[in-house]
């Protein structure tokens, strides 16, 4: 898998297109599920998931926190975002 940033643009409907090589490398096809996290004052993070483990978002947040330095995400912004997600009841995340 290539590990370099790619620049993509949001279209008029708010949709993003994941480049073909990334979709291929990550086995992303129609119907693939993602969790979408907003990182305060930073942007968004997509995490590919199977639909079944949506109630396991705390584990995913811990993984993001552990890798925040590598992802160049400020820990203070991540902690603010995590506090917001902790207010969400288990299983109340939307599959977009």
pLDDT tens across 68-78, in order?
Answer: 888 888 888 87
The pLDDT > 70 percentage for the chain reads 75
Tell me the C-alpha to C-alpha distance, in Å, between residue 19 and each of 22, 54, 57.
Answer: 5, 25, 26
Burial 11-23 (b: 16+ CB within 10 A, else e): eeeeeeeeeeeee
Within 10 angstroms of residue 5's Cβ, the number of other Cβ atoms is 6
Q: Are 93 and 54 in contact (CB under 8 A)?
A: yes
- Predicted TM-score (pTM) of the model is 0.50
Q: In this predicted structure, what is the pLDDT of residue 72? A: 84
Q: Are 78 and 68 in contact (CB under 8 A)?
A: yes
- Local structure of residue 37 (DSSP, 8 states): E
């Amino acid at each position: 898998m290539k590990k370099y940033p790619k620049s993509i643009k949001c279209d008029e409907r708010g949709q993003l297109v994941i480049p073909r090589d990334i979709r291929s490398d990550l086995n992303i096809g129609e119907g693939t599920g993602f969790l979408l996290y907003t990182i305060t004052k930073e942007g968004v993070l997509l995490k590919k998931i199977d639909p079944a483990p949506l109630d396991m978002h705390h584990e995913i947040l811990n993984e993001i926190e552990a890798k925040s330095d590598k992802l160049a995400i400020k820990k203070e912004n991540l902690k603010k975002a995590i506090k917001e997600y902790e207010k969400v009841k288990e299983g109340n995340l939307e599959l977009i």
